[in-house]
Amino acid sequence: MPDAPRATSRRLAALARARARIVEPGSDGTPGGPSSEERPVPPPRPGVWRRIGLAALRPGRSQVVAAVVLCLLGMAGVMQVRTNDSGDAYRTARREDLVQILDGLGVESRRLEAEVAELQSTKARLQSGADTQRVAREDASRRVQELGILAGTAPAHGPGIRIRISDPQEKVDANVLLDAVEELRDAGAEVIEVNDSSRVVASTWFGNDGTTLLVDGVPLERPLVIEAIGDPHSLEEAARFRGGIVSEITGPKIGGDVTIAQLGDVVVTSLHAPPASQYARPAAAGPTPR
C-alpha cells in the first residue's frame, strides 16, 4: 500500500480516538487508547492478523456495539429465513406479485380444465367403443349358439314330441322317413333327431340298403324313434292329419304302429359334424340380419 492513504487513515484514527476521549473521557479511552495507537502504526501487512488476534483478546466498546448490531442482524436473519421456510411466502408478498401469481394460476387452471375435458371425452369415447364391442360380441356368441343348433353342431333341448314307429314288416323306407321329417319341419320343428343318434340337418340324406334304413350312411335299428323340438301340439297335429305320416304307416300298405308323446323337455345331444368346406369360403357379408 502506498504511504499517503496510510497516513490519512492514521490521521483519521487518531481523530476518532480523540473524539471518543472527549465524549467519554473515562470509560474506554484509557485501555483502548494506547493499544490502538500502536496498532495502526506498524505496517499493516504483517500486522493485520495480529491486530485481529489482539482485538479478540482485548474487547473494547466498539466491539460491544458491533456485537449488539450483529445480534440484531442475526435475529433479523433468522426471522426472515424462518418466514421464508414456513412456506407462507404469500403473506409477505406484494400485491402486484400476488396478482401476477393469481393470474398465472388462473391460466394454469384453465389449461388443466381443458385437458380434463379432453381426457373425459376420450374416456367416454373409449367406453362407448368398449360397450359397442361387448354388445357385438354377445350378439355374435348368441348367433353362434343359434346357428349351432340349426347346423346341428350344438346340443339342444326344449318342448317337443317323441314319435315311436314300430314296423314289424320293415316296410318303412327312406321316402316315408323323409315325408315324416318334411312334415315335422313344416310344423316348425327346430331340431330333429332319429334314434337318439342321428341329428337331422340340412345335408342329411336317407337311403335304403335292402330293408335297412340309412341316415347319412348310418344304418338305423327298428323301432324308429324320432324326436323333434318345437310346439308339441303343432308337431303332433302335423303327424296325425289325414293322409299324413300316421295314417300312411298304420295303413294297410305298411301295417305299422305309431305312438306319439308330447314332452315338456326333449333333450337332443347327438351332434352333426360338418365337414370342412373344401371350396366355399366366407365372403365379406353385409350387416348380419337380426
Partner 1 sequence: MIPLIGLVVGIVLGLLLEPTLPTVLQPYLPIAIVAALDALFGAFRAYLEGTFTDRVFVVSFVSNVLIAALIVWVGDQIGVGSQLSTGVVVVLGIRIFTNVAAIRRVLFHA
Select from 4, 22, 57, 284 the one that contacts partner 1 (CB under 8 A).
57
**How buried is residue 25: exposed, middle or buried, by Cβ count under 10 Å (0-12/13-18/19+)?**
exposed
The nearer residue to partner 1, 103 or 182, going by C-beta atoms, is 103
The nearer residue to partner 1, 86 or 278, going by C-beta atoms, is 86
Residue 277 CB contacts under 8 Å (≥ 6 apart), including other chains: none
Shortest distance (Å) from residue 47 CB to partner 1: 10
- Cis preceding-peptide flag for 223 (omega within 30 of 0): yes
CB 165 within 8 A of CB 249: yes
CB 285 within 8 A of CB 208: no
Q: Which stretch binds partner 1 (CB under 8 A): 40-48, 125-133, 148-156, 174-182?
A: 40-48
The nearer residue to partner 1, 33 or 148, going by C-beta atoms, is 33
Site map 228..247 versus partner 1, x via CB under 8 A: --------------------
Among positions 12-31, residues that touch partner 1 (CB under 8 A) are: 12-13, 16, 19-20
3-state DSSP assignment of residue 261: strand
Q: What is the DSSP letter of 265?
A: E
7 contributes a contact to partner 1 by CB under 8 A: no
Binding-site size for partner 1 (CB under 8 A) equals 45
CB 258 within 8 A of CB 163: yes
Q: Which stretch binds partner 1 (CB under 8 A): 38-46, 117-125, 173-181, 236-244?
A: 38-46
Q: Which stretch binds partner 1 (CB under 8 A): 11-19, 159-167, 212-220, 230-238?
A: 11-19
49 contributes a contact to partner 1 by CB under 8 A: yes
Site map 59..98 versus partner 1, x via CB under 8 A: x-xxxxxxxxxxxxxxxxxxxx-xx-------xxxx-xx-
List the alpha helices (DSSP H) in 2-94. Answer: 3-23, 29-38, 44-57, 61-85
> How many Cβ atoms from other residues are within 10 Å of residue 256's Cβ?
22
- Beta-strand ranges (E) seen in 146-250 are 156-166, 191-194, 198-200, 206-209, 212-215, 218-219, 224-229
Shortest distance (Å) from residue 33 CB to partner 1: 14
Binding site for partner 1 (CB under 8 A): 9-10, 12-13, 16, 19-20, 39-40, 44-45, 48-49, 55-57, 59, 61-80, 82-83, 91-94, 96-97
